[in-house]
Copies of this chain bind each other. A is one copy, B any other.
Amino acid sequence: MNEAQIQSLRPDWELAREEFVAQWGALGSHWGINRTMAQIHALLMTAPEPMDTEQIMARLHISRGNANTNLRELIGWGLIRLIVKKGERREYFEAEKDVWKMFITIAKERKRRELDPALLVLKQCAEQTQTETAGPGKAFHDQMKELQEFVEFGMKVSDTVASMKHASALQWAMRLLS
């Protein structure tokens, strides 16, 4: 069976899905996530059933190694989980579909990867210039301090939001927006 025939057998929504997967991948690479990883995530997010490695390889035209690496990476992020069906040796994968949970997971992970190391740098730089009491040295120290406090503050907000249930977050946000 050739591509065109397969295409014609595929229900309508699958076309939209294909589009979603492709575009999501392109977007991913705009924001520091690698294209394939984003595509796999999009694919699983819209899968009615858990999928195995072979299926993913086939749908995305990628190699086994690539699929495997990115699946592990996604598991590392906590965005998908491994499913073992009884009586089957093969591993299946399934994505978290709840949007709020997904958001929390991504927020936590980004905090860990982006904010934590930044904070470390800022603290060190602030510390090393403790003794400066005037002039540009003082100005530098103050700036590092300000940045540090801002980042710490952002982290607190992020933690608070992340610990909320969807409903209370919504309520809180409504208050903000009104």
Contacts and interface: CB of A to CB of B under 8 A. Distances in A.
Contacts of A17: 125, 140
Contacts of A131: 12
Number of copies: 2
A153 B173 contact: yes
B140 A16 contact: yes
Most B CB within 10 A of own CB, among A45, A129, A140: A140
Interface of A: 11-13, 15-17, 19-20, 23-24, 27, 30-32, 45-46, 48, 97, 99-100, 103, 113-114, 117-118, 121-122, 124-125, 128-129, 131-132, 136-137, 139-141, 143-144, 146-147, 150, 153, 156-157, 160, 172-173, 176-177
Given A16-B144, A27-B118, A30-B114, 10 more contacts: A12-B132, A15-B128, A16-B124, A20-B121, A20-B125, A30-B113, A45-B143, A99-B146, A156-B177, A172-B176
